[in-house]
Every structure is written in C-alpha cells, then in structure tokens.
Amino acid sequence: MLSYATLGEAEAALGRSLTFAEDIWFRYTARMPNYLLFYHNIIFLFVIFSLAPLQLALIELGFPASVSSFKIQPKICLPPTSFFQCYKDVMRVFLLIVDPLQLSSYPTIKFVGIRTGLPLPSLWEVALQLLVYFVVEDYGNYWIHRLLHCKWGYEKIHCVHHEFTTPIGFATPYAHWAEVLLLGIPSFAGPAMVPCHMITFWLWIALRQLEAIETHSGYGSHHTSFM
C-alpha cells in the first residue's frame, strides 16, 4: 500500500510527474496491502509452471518426428499420461510446499527491505540487480546440487528429482519437498543481499523459473533452428 492518498500527493513527494509505468503502479497498488502484492508470486509461479512447459509438451506430442532431432534423447517419446502425471505431482508439491512457503515468507521479504513504493526502479537498476541475482543463485545452486549428489543426499532426497529419467519441462520442480526448500535459498539470497523493488522481485522469480524450465526441457542448446 502506498503512503500517498492521491496522485497529486505522489507527484508532490517525488517533485515531478509520474511516468506512465508509475501511474499504472500507483493506480494498482495505492490501496493494496503490501503482503497481497508479494502473494502475486503464487499466481505467477502457477501460471509459469502450467503454461511454459505446456507449450513444449504440445509440440513434442503433436510433432514428435519434427522435434526428435533437437532432443537430448531423440529416440524416447513419452506418452501424454506421463506429462499429465508429472504435472499432477508437481501441483501437489506446489500446493503443499510452495504455497505455504510463499504465504509464510512475507515477514522475511519485509525485513530484508524489498520495497513497493515510488519511484519505480530504472531499467539499469533492474538489469544490474538481476545480474547479481543470477550469479548468486547459480553459485549457490551449483553447490547445493553437488551436495545433493553425495550418497546420502541422493538416496534420501535428490533421487526423487531423477525419477523422470527423460527430461521434460513439467519435471523442473518435480522434487522432494526438502530439495524444494533447499533450492529456494540461493533464489532468495540475491534479493536478500541486494534488496530491490517488488516489480524486480516478480521479474526475478519469473525469469529464474523460465530458465529452469528451459534447462529441464530435454532439448539441446546447441540446436539453433528447426530443419
């Protein structure tokens, strides 16, 4: 919720007219509590985990011969039931683990200083903060992943993620609940170290999940065009 009652108060506080984006942000958030803004992440994650992998699944199921040469495992084609079962399992983890985690983590978001007010961040600020977040997350994710591949970590936790031996986008968050929690640490570490605006935080969460879906899609990055 913004601390300005009217548009005029906001412009007076900033000493200038609001930009087009700031005007939209003011109208959308002026009377909305900050915790509700943060909970938008639940909607974003649901949409991303549902629609982004769906596009890949529909292409693979509808045109298997056309895309097989671009797959890491070109001779394996999963049936529709496998995609659907994976999605159901992921949504169960989403409802039982991710949603409660999001609902309970707002005090932490507030504590580290992620802001919702005006002015909005510049494009340079957003870009530099995202760069920091990707570097921090990649470094932390690497070491947690290595830890989970030790004997105990793999047998007790990480083996669940490898139940889908053929990678598909829907299997990106398919994992043991403990792994979901552990891998959330490096994703949040960057914003905790370099606090940002809520819009940047939303963008970071979305880009991070899209990157993970692409990584787990089962298609090699060395292919650049369809033949």
Tens of pLDDT, residue by residue over 155-179, are 999 999 998 888 888 999 899 999 9
In our burial notation (b when 16+ CB lie closer than 10 A, e otherwise), range 103-134 reads eeebeebeeeebebbbebbeeeebeebbebbe
Nearest alpha-carbon partner for 21 in 199, 188, 225: 199
First-last CA distance in the chain? 51
Rounded to two decimals, the pTM is: 0.89
Asked, for residue 19, whether it belongs to a domain, the answer is: no
Asked, for residue 41, whether it belongs to a domain, the answer is: yes
Asked, for residue 20, whether it belongs to a domain, the answer is: no
Number of domains in the chain: 1
Structural contact between residues 62 and 157, judged by C-beta atoms closer than 8 angstroms: no
Asked, for residue 117, whether it belongs to a domain, the answer is: yes
Per-residue pLDDT of the chain (227 residues; tens, 9 = 90+): 677 778 888 888 888 999 999 999 999 998 899 999 999 999 999 999 999 999 888 888 887 777 777 888 887 888 889 899 999 999 998 999 889 989 999 999 999 999 999 999 999 999 999 999 999 999 999 999 999 999 999 999 999 999 888 888 899 989 999 999 999 999 999 999 999 999 999 999 999 999 999 888 888 654 333 33
Asked, for residue 5, whether it belongs to a domain, the answer is: no
Asked, for residue 3, whether it belongs to a domain, the answer is: no
Asked, for residue 82, whether it belongs to a domain, the answer is: yes
Please report the pLDDT score of residue 69 as a whole number. 79
Q: Which domain holds residue 41?
A: 33-215
